Structure 1
Amino acid sequence: MTDTAPTDRPPLPDHLSVDPRSPHHVAAVFEHDIGIRFNGKDRFDVEEYCLSEGWIKVPAGRAVDRKGRPLLIKLKGTVEAFYR
């Protein structure tokens, strides 16, 4: 089994957002599959994270703002980001 070398992947930033309009969006990182572990559990609904401050933002149910984007809530805890 051959695994891709970690050198061809960009380093994961401290603060990353899924939203392309955000200044924290890094398109090169999203070319690879990223995993987020929050308080020891894998999360698949993370919209934004910050490793140094220890928080993630996730959608708050089905609620959307007036532009149709999901409303986000901030959860604080232990955040780990990794490539799958």
Structure 2
Amino acid sequence: MNDTKSQPALPDRLSINPRSPHHVAAVFEYDIGIKINGKERFDVEEYCISEGWIKVASRKALDRRGQPLLMTIKGTVEAFYK
């Protein structure tokens, strides 16, 4: 998918939650892929490349605001455009 618009550089830390200070809406106009330890993940809520972690939502547990609790998985993180 090559558009005539140039893709913005992927930030070191990115969140899909629009209430997060690490949410960058311009990046989400394109398909993004995340790999951790060489495996592509499709359920990533937030990532940080320099600190080497991703956060994924737990299946059933909710916080007091009704949002899913996030579990941290550590490893080598790679972010790329598909």
TM over 0.5: yes
Residue 47 of structure 1, CA deviation: 0.3
Of residues 20, 23, 33, the one that matches 2:21 is: 23
Rounded Cα–Cα distance in structure 2 between residues aligned with 1:54 and 1:7:
30
Unaligned runs of 5+ in 1: none
Residue 68 of structure 1, CA deviation: 1.5
Unaligned runs of 5+ in 2: none
Rounded Cα–Cα distance in structure 2 between residues aligned with 1:7 and 1:53:
30
CA RMSD across the alignment: 1.5
Runs of 4+ in 1 over 6 A off after TM superposition: none
SS of residue paired to 1:36: strand
Q: Given the superposition, is the C-alpha separation of residues 55 and 64 from structure 1 closer, same or farther in structure 2, using an over 3 Å criterion?
A: same
Length, aligned pairs only? 82
Counterpart of 1:36 in structure 2 is: 34
| Map 1:41-80 → 2, pairs under 5 A | 41-80=39-78
Aligned identity (percent) is: 67
